[in-house]
Amino acid sequence: MARMESPWPSAELPLTGERFVPGARGEIWVEHWHRYHFAAQFAKGLRVVDAACGEGYGSALLARHAASVVGADVSAEAVAHARAACAGIANLGFVRAQCTKLPLPDASADLFVSFETVENLREQEEFLDEIARILAPDGLLLLSCPNRRECGDRRGFANEFHVKELYRDELAGLVARRFRHARWYGQRPGFFSVIAPEPHAETGHLAEVTQAHPADACPALGEPLHFLVAASRAMGTLGMLPATLSVLADRDNRAHRDYGKVMRQLETAGARLEEMAGHVDTLAKAREEAMKSRDDALAWAGELESRLAQAERTVSEQSRLIAERDGEIERRASLAWWLRLPFLRLLGRRK
């Protein structure tokens, strides 16, 4: 598959803690992109609605395969961003609307996609009613939401944006009241071992992507870590091997939990490093101020020393003059001087 450049500009929507945007790190990008790649295989030639589309990255992916895609979101900022980013995609449009009141005709969609939306709504019944109204009678709904038993009960995680997370039976009831038939899938990010046939699987779905280009998927493993070869002298023997994907998952999910633990430790260490860097900056500024104060003090001390030396020279000169005058006073105060004084005056007159 030829690589396509992402339509999104470098300035992305801000991270709110709920809306996923391309460029977000961690397992969240794997979860969100996987769901849209999974949906894309059913979208070929269909009229698609993507409810709660955010900035439209998933809608754009679906538009590569669909006849038309309408992305809807309640956020004016998200819709404006999506329209600007995807302006060049002819079969893709966006509307600002609540998911319970979409401005779309009855039976106007063949595929309705809504990922991680229902748990954010109080009007969950109304939302499913709206989906049933918009979907054609033989249309397909792809909906995802967190598993309350796993996310909330077992992990003790509370998302401030979630109004009501659902247990499986609650979600099943919502869907069954509008749609008679359902096939369930489970999604769990983790560490898995995948054995994939070459050049690609005839059944199953594999989408290998990179975080730099998550919209461009390859249906096979690009560079496997190990080769696994099945060989025989009889072609019929190989025919017994299915060209399907084989996945081994750790039920305890230990490696993924260890990864999560390490990531949390790295985040804590990173925060600590930032805090320490702040202290270093503060100390550096304090040192700079101290050095400046020291230089000012040294300059002031030098000036003071110069003035002190000048004062000492002045005092020394004044002391010398005083000493001379004191000597003259002592000389004149002596008896011999007074006895010579008349003769000195007489000599002065004669001259």
List the one residue out of 103, 56, 97, 92 whose CA is nearest residue 74. Answer: 97
- Give the model's pLDDT for residue 124: 95
Q: Is-above-0.85 flag for pTM?
A: no
Question: Cα–Cα distance between 224 and 198 in angstroms, integer?
Answer: 10
Question: Cα–Cα distance between 68 and 63 in angstroms, integer?
Answer: 6
List the one residue out of 237, 238, 205 whose CA is nearest residue 219. Answer: 205
- Give the model's pLDDT for residue 67: 98
| Mean local confidence (pLDDT), 11-23 | 55
- Give the model's pLDDT for residue 3: 46
Q: What residue spans define the domains of the chain?
A: 27-190, 253-325
- Give the model's pLDDT for residue 235: 80
- How many Cβ atoms sit within 10 Å of the Cβ of residue 335? 7
Helix (H) or strand (E) holding 248: strand 246-249
- Give the model's pLDDT for residue 24: 53
- Give the model's pLDDT for residue 326: 78
**Average pLDDT value over all residues in the chain:** 83
Contact 206, 37 (CB under 8 A): no
| Mean local confidence (pLDDT), 255-266 | 77
pLDDT tens sequence across 20-78: 555 555 567 788 899 999 999 999 999 999 999 999 999 999 999 999 999 999 999 99
Could you give the angle at the alpha carbon of 198 between the alpha carbons of 259 and 202, nearest 5°? 95
Percent of the chain with pLDDT over 90: 34
pLDDT tens sequence across 123-175: 999 999 999 999 999 999 999 988 888 876 776 666 677 788 888 999 999 99
pLDDT tens sequence across 313-334: 888 888 888 888 877 777 766 6
Quick check: helix, strand or coil at residue 339?
helix
Would you tell me which CATH number, out of the four given (3.40.50.2300, 3.40.50.150, 1.10.287.1260, 3.40.50.800), belongs to the domain 27-190? 3.40.50.150
Question: Cα–Cα distance between 34 and 209 in angstroms, integer?
Answer: 9
pLDDT tens sequence across 89-116: 999 999 999 999 999 999 999 999 999 9
Confidence of residue 281 (pLDDT cuts 50, 70, 90): confident
Question: Cα–Cα distance between 271 and 262 in angstroms, integer?
Answer: 14
- Give the model's pLDDT for residue 40: 94
